[in-house]
Amino acid sequence: MAVALPGAGASQEQNPPLPPPRPDRPAPPEKPDGKSPVRESAEQNATDAGDPAAACIERLTKLGLRFEKRPPVQENACRIGNPVSVSALPTGIEVSPASLMECSFAEGLVRWVNEVVIPRTGEHFQSAPTKLLIGTSYQCRDQRSGAKLSEHAFGNSVDVMGFEFDKRPPLTVRVQPEGSPEAAFQSAVQKEACAIFSTVLGPGADDDHDDHLHLDMRVRKADYRICQ
């Protein structure tokens, strides 16, 4: 005669076996470390929000810039919190000489070259840019007026002296002959830079900027921009 153990039936009823997962609702695959893609994405977003400097460096890496991460700069009142030394842009355009700048400014420089310089070079010269010639990037100094520190003092600016190309002679930034392809190209890259940078000064603005394009990302109230 079979003997029923006390409480056995009740225990089985309280803890029935779990049914197998429905075939139309597979469990999300797990990575080798046991983290699901959703969890990993949430953790990455949290990391980016908590460390914007690291997030910027990661974006530059994904864009394909050639750069070196440098230690923070502190020189009197001048400083760069997240400096990088950029030697080439994602399209292989050389930055000459390699220039020290804030990571976020490097992102703006990439955007300007990709969205403005490359297409305007093709339009006006039927060519492609190969080199960006830089005069000044980081430099601990005041504005020329002496009113406050220059954006160069924060790695938030570059002075572009000229461009080199694959199918034509280099172009030096200056007052170009009226009606020439050089004048049309330079005017276009100067004016269209205003959609990306908060300050754009070049030939025609004043005597101090007749031989270069000054680009910076100074933060002003109500997103006020100076484009000359």
Q: What is the pLDDT of residues 73-83, one digit of tens each?
A: 999 999 999 99
Tally of domains in the chain: 1
Q: Specify the residue for token string 């955007």.
A: 111
* 61 belongs to a structural domain: no
Cβ atoms of 86 and 98 within 8 Å: the answer is yes
* 182 belongs to a structural domain: yes
* 45 belongs to a structural domain: no
Q: Which of 110, 90, 82, 86 is nearest to 98 (CA)?
A: 86
Taken in order 98, 82, 136, 124, the sign of the CA dihedral is positive
Ranges in the chain, pLDDT < 70: 1-49, 144-147, 205-207
At residue 6, the pLDDT reads 41
* 201 belongs to a structural domain: yes
Alpha-carbon distance 114 to 40, whole Å? 31
* 166 belongs to a structural domain: yes
Element (H, E) at 123: helix 118-125
* 207 belongs to a structural domain: yes
What contacts 204, CB < 8 A, 6 or more positions away? 175, 210, 228
Q: Determine the structural domain holding residue 106 and report its residue range.
A: 82-228
C-alpha 40: how far from its chain's center?
Answer: 24
* 7 belongs to a structural domain: no
Alpha-carbon distance 169 to 185, whole Å? 14
Exposure b/e, 71-104, CB count within 10 A at least 16 = b: eebeeeebbbebbbbbebbeeebbbbebbbbbbb
Other CB atoms within a 10 A radius of the CB of residue 217 amount to 18
* 91 belongs to a structural domain: yes
The CATH number linked to 178 is: 3.30.1380
No. of H helices and E strands in the chain?
Answer: 6, 11
At residue 208, the pLDDT reads 76
